[in-house]
């Protein structure tokens, strides 16, 4: 048993030593781990490994998922409490965003409308939140108007992933002539597979054979790129990957 215990300490120390080398920690950690494998591993775990694990993207996503499962209304409840204590525009915007994420688009829109009627009517974050709420409530025309105001007061927003894609979706829903150009713009700033998939969906509905061929190419790009995605990217883009695969199978 003693021999097994010593071997286990060494294996654990080796694991942390590999982690130290890969993450470019100070080399004195290797000395500590090999001179004092048991105590050194324990110290390394709490000082280096655990904090890094908590800050990883996967850990943050898992924490959010668990929080949503255990207490799905926490974000709304906390935002509502802060707003009740101090009804500032910032707190109203936070509450609106929490309500949107929770699926309560109607109340979220009320808060954004109240906020935008005040002196911060040209605030870029406020306009973007209002556009999100309008689109979630099915008002694509109002979404388009709000985003065009956002682009006028803050031109860089036109090249940012979320407002660029939202603008293209609003134009697509209303059948506006600038839809194609808006989707092409959203592709240049894309941070995930959503713009390609949604653009492909729109192209599929067009009468031109060249558009439908372009749609298949976009779907195929998503499926091809998915082979190289890390796990968090695959989880984040799972909906778009499934839609692309289904479209190619038809």
In tens, the pLDDT along 23-56 reads: 777 777 888 888 888 888 888 887 777 666 555 4
Q: Which domain holds residue 26?
A: 2-55
Is the distance from CB of 41 to CB of 33 less than 8 angstroms? Answer: yes
Residue 57: is its pLDDT beyond 80?
A: no
Residue 226 lies in a domain: no
Residue 63 lies in a domain: no
Read off the pTM: 0.72
Under the banding of pLDDT at 50, 70 and 90, the label for residue 120 is confident
Residue 49 lies in a domain: yes
pLDDT (0 to 100) of residue 68: 54
Under the banding of pLDDT at 50, 70 and 90, the label for residue 20 is confident
How does the average pLDDT of the chain come out, rounded?
87
Residue 59: is its pLDDT beyond 90?
A: no
- Compute the radius of gyration of the chain from its Cα atoms: 25
pLDDT (0 to 100) of residue 30: 83
Q: Which is more confidently placed, 39 or 108?
A: 108
List the single range of 55-59, 69-73, 163-167, 219-223 with lowest mean pLDDT: 55-59
Under the banding of pLDDT at 50, 70 and 90, the label for residue 165 is very high
Residue 203 lies in a domain: no
List the single range of 62-66, 84-88, 177-181 with lowest mean pLDDT: 62-66
Residue 40 lies in a domain: yes
pLDDT (0 to 100) of residue 187: 95
Residue 101 lies in a domain: no
Average pLDDT (220-237) is: 90
Under the banding of pLDDT at 50, 70 and 90, the label for residue 4 is very low
Measured between alpha carbons, how far is 100 from 88 in angstroms, rounded to an integer?
18
Average pLDDT (154-161) is: 93
Q: Which is more confidently placed, 120 or 22?
A: 120
Is the distance from CB of 203 to CB of 233 less than 8 angstroms? Answer: no
Pull the structure tokens for residue 32: 């500590």
| Positive or negative: CA dihedral 215, 218, 222, 224 | positive
DSSP character for 192? S
Q: H or E segment at 185?
A: helix 179-188
Pull the structure tokens for residue 161: 């992933």
Angle between helices 124-136 and 161-174 (to 10 degrees): 40
- Burial class of residue 27 in the structure, from the number of CB atoms within 10 Å of its CB (0-12 exposed, 13-18 middle, 19+ buried): exposed
Domains held by the chain: number: 1
Query: Torsion over CA of 216, 221, 226 and 229, rounded to 10 degrees?
Result: -160
Under the banding of pLDDT at 50, 70 and 90, the label for residue 173 is very high
Residue 174 lies in a domain: no
Residue 140 lies in a domain: no
């Amino acid at each position: 048993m003693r021999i097994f215990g010593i071997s286990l300490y060494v294996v654990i120390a080796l694991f942390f030593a590999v982690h130290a080398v890969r993450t470019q920690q100070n080399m004195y950690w290797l000395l500590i781990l090999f001179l004092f494998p048991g105590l050194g591993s324990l110290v390394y775990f709490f000082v280096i490994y655990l904090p890094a694990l908590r800050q990883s993207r996967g850990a943050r996503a898992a924490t959010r998922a668990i929080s949503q499962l255990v207490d799905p209304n926490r974000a709304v409840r906390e935002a509502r409490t802060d707003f009740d204590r101090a009804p500032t525009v910032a707190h109203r915007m936070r509450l609106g965003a929490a309500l949107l994420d929770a699926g309560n688009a109607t109340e979220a829109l009320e808060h954004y409308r109240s906020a935008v009627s005040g002196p911060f009517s040209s605030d870029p974050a406020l306009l973007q939140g209002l556009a999100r709420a309008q689109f979630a409530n099915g008002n694509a025309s109002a979404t388009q108007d709000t985003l065009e105001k956002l682009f006028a007061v803050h031109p860089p927003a036109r090249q940012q992933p979320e407002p660029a894609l939202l603008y293209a979706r609003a134009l697509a829903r209303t059948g506006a002539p600038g839809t194609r150009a808006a989707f092409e713009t959203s592709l240049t700033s894309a941070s995930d597979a959503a713009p390609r998939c949604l653009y492909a969906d729109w192209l599929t509905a067009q009468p031109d054979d060249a558009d439908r061929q372009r749609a298949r190419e976009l779907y195929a790009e998503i499926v091809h790129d998915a082979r190289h995605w890390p796990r968090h990217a695959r989880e984040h883009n799972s909906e778009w990957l499934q839609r692309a695969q289904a479209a190619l199978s038809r």
